[in-house]
């Protein structure tokens, strides 16, 4: 898996704070997993305030993403293997 910028993703919430991203995920999705800062997903380490909510919707992962110098976003990315790994608690 490559860089997030090279993946096919959809921005669900643009240019927001880390807290706004977390609140958006908790409010809009039912299947949520909480991970610690530094959790590796799609070959990227998550930045944020632990615990970080990461949601699953079918074969998609909904996650907060912090891009230095650009802010925080909520992204929706297809990823069956990452969904399986989240559900397995790994």
What is the number of structural domains in the chain? 1
- Write out the chain in H/E/C secondary structure: CCCHHHCCEEEEEEEECHHHHHHHHHHHCCCEEEECCCCEECCEECCCCCCEEEEEECCEEEEEEEECCCEEEEEEEECHHHHHHHHHCC
Kindly report, residue by residue over 22-64, the tens digit of the pLDDT.
999 999 999 999 999 999 999 899 988 899 999 999 999 999 9
Q: Which domain holds residue 82?
A: 4-88
Q: Taking 50 as the threshold, does the pLDDT of residue 1 lie above it? A: no
């Amino acid at each position: 898996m490559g860089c997030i910028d090279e993946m096919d993703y959809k921005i669900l919430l643009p240019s927001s704070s880390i807290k706004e991203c977390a609140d958006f995920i908790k409010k809009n999705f039912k299947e949520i997993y909480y991970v610690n800062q530094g959790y590796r997903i799609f070959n990227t380490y998550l930045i944020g305030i632990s615990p970080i909510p990461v949601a699953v919707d079918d074969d998609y992962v909904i996650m907060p993403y912090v891009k230095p110098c650009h802010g925080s976003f909520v992204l929706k990315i297809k990823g069956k293997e990452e969904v399986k790994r989240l559900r397995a608690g790994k």
